[in-house]
Structure 1
Amino acid sequence: MTKAIDFVKGVAELTRPHNLIVAVVTTFIGYGIVSKTYGYQLADKTFIWPALVVVLIAAAGYVINDYYDIETDRIAKPWRPLVSGIVSPHTARILAYTLFALGLAISAIMNPYILLFVAANALLLHEYSRWIKRTGFIGNTVVAYNSAATILFGGLTRSIELDALVPYAVLIPAIYAFLFVLGREIVKGIEDIEGDRRAGIYTIAVAYGAERARSMAILLLGAVVAISPIPALLGIYNVLYAVFAVIVDVTILLSLITLYKANNIDEIIAAARKARSLLKVGFLAGGLAFTLGLL
């Protein structure tokens, strides 16, 4: 009985339920924007299907990521379920492909275009875990795209349901998420520059130096602040969007000031560590801005 409970806990740890909730919320953002744009109620009972697909595909991605990361985790994270033996690598692989298959099957029932979108993203998730994540900046870009993809998916599924065009308003939070996460990933690359250099991972910081990486992060995150007023002008968000968007902008600006004031490599790395903590708060506030702003 204890082994069974440990196994269930191990599977839960592999699938990262808290991240799955975030994925459902971002899917709802895209879905809700389309609903509101065309004058329908924000959420319909049909939302269960895109939400389920996102949960299945995202969970599969997290499991297969641990499968391919097992050798790295033996050193860095020996408590992870596959390394500790709570879940066997073989079982994890079967679980991942089963989840992928279920997500694709539901997508096929929904619509051929939805299946195409989901299949492409499932393949990208798999290949990210298998090799792309070790490429550095390309891997950063894939992580940023994945953050935006759930918003696009929600918008696509609702537009197909309503037999309508995907409104450009869906692109705004998707671009916002992409720029924010890409900037955050570059900041993380600055923080991890020494470890990434030893591992042969060519992040922007490793390939071009911490100072250039800092400049790129400042440019990307500054762009997030610059576009943050746009959603408020679209007429589909309430005042809560503005409230939480200000919180996002403040956390970003504090992060940028911290990075900008650093004078040497050691200070830049320390600043990146502080900035990444601030950006975690900003990311949460951004999700709340686009979600609560629709209500």
Structure 2
Amino acid sequence: MRAYLELARPINCAMAALGVIVGELIAGARFDVGAALAPVVAAVVCAGGNAINDYFDAEVDAVNRPDRPIPSGRVSPRSAQMFALGCFAVGIGMATVINRMCLTIAALNSVLLYLYSWRLKGTPLIGNVVVSYLVGSCFLFGAAVGQRPAPAVWLFLLAFLANLVREILKDLEDVEGDAALGLKTLPIAYGEGVALRVATVFAIALAVLTPLPYLDGVVGWPYLTLALPAAAVILLASILAVAGSWDAGKAQRVVKVGMLLGLLAFLVSLL
């Protein structure tokens, strides 16, 4: 049982569930069966994604992480695959009880999680886009349960862009290891300079879009007190990385702080 918990990565699953709860709060969800089930669905689908990732990474983990459940022999590859597919099936099944939108998101995310681990992980930019969508979709999933989803839709879009910046910076940080594994990430395929400029373009887009939830009338002015500094932090990190003042590792850690500030901005808007 413990080996399967390791496959699931409970902390990651809890973070996915928390994202759904934030989406529900922002969207004004009433506490009912659907609102209670939605975080559970996210956690279960996330567990499936983590398990299928270990299934496809078994050979790499045998070298880099021999203590993981599959290379250590505590879980067979076939059992890990069936566990992942079972989690996807259970998550999708529970989503049918909530509503059609939640069912659509749960099914789409299950497919994307499988495809990402199977084919998309090392592809230039596409893998980054998929991961960023999956991160932001937790807020969408929660919003689908609520009465006023517009603020959470904005949160999804901004979280998507911010995470896309961070994903590209993480690829820059991991170039040596990814190249050794034969992955074709954006900096490996097109060069580190191109990757940094692409990240900066997305950071600029984030900065431009950040005031729009306020201008659209879905959040109040307190949102701006944290959202604007958050966007500025993320943009500054990208610019300093392009200029060579910061390495990619430092820049992506600062972007993560900016993402947290952005999330707090939406939560503050509820007060």
- Give the alignment's TM-score, normalised by structure 2: 0.87
Deviation at 1:234, TM superposition (A): 4.7
Paired with 1:256 and 1:104, the residues of 2 have a C-alpha distance of 38
What is the number of residues matched between the two proteins?
270
State the SS of the aligned residue for 1:44: coil
**5+ residue gaps, structure 1:** 1-6, 36-41, 160-165
What are the residue-to-residue correspondences of 1:216-235 with 2, within 5 Å? 216-235=198-217
- Contact residue 27 and residue 151 of structure 1 kept, 8 A: yes
Report the counterpart of residue 197 of structure 1 in structure 2.
179
Q: What stretches of structure 2 of length at least 5 have no aligned partner?
A: none
Residue 274 of structure 1 pairs with residue 250 of structure 2: yes
Per-residue displacement from partner, 1:22-79 (whole Å, max 9, x unpaired)?
A: 22232233333332xxxxxx54233111111111111111111111111111122223
TM-score, normalised with respect to structure 1 = 0.81
Distance 1:108 1:244, change over 3 A: same
109-118 or 128-137, larger mean C-alpha shift: 109-118
3-state SS in 2 of match to 1:81: coil
Match of 2:90 in 1: 102
After TM superposition, the structure 1 stretch with the greater mean CA deviation from structure 2, 15-24 or 229-238, is: 229-238
User: Equivalent residue for 1:287?
Assistant: 263
Give the % identical residues. Answer: 35
Larger radius of gyration: 1
Aligned to 1:207: 189
Q: Which amino acid aligns with 2:259?
A: F
> 2:168 corresponds to which residue?
186
Equivalent residue number for residue 3 of structure 1: none
The residue type paired with residue 254 of structure 2 is L
Distance 1:273 1:205, change over 3 A: same
User: Secondary structure at 1:78's aligned position in 2?
Assistant: coil
> 2-side partners of 1:128 and 1:137: how far apart?
12
Question: What is the DSSP-based 3-state SS (H/G/I as helix, E as strand, rest coil) of the residue aligned with 1:83?
Answer: coil
Kept after mapping to 2: 8 A contact 1:25/1:291: no
- C-alpha displacement of 1:146: 0.7
Q: In structure 2, what is the Cα distance between the partners aligned to 1:189 and 1:13? A: 25
Q: Matched residues in 1 for 2:211 and 2:110: separation?
A: 33
C-alpha distance 239-79 of structure 1, shift in aligned 2 (>3 A): farther
Deviates more, 1:232-241 or 1:285-294: 232-241
CA RMSD of aligned residues (A): 2.5
Alpha-carbon separation, structure 2, partners of 1:43 and 1:67:
38
Cα drift, residue 201 of structure 1: 2.2
**Aligned partner of 1:19: which letter?**
N
Mapped contact 1:169–1:234 kept (Cα < 8 A): no
**Deviation (angstroms), 1:142:** 0.5
Matches of 1:178 and 1:96, distance apart in 2: 25
Contact 2:211 2:228 in 1 (8 A): no
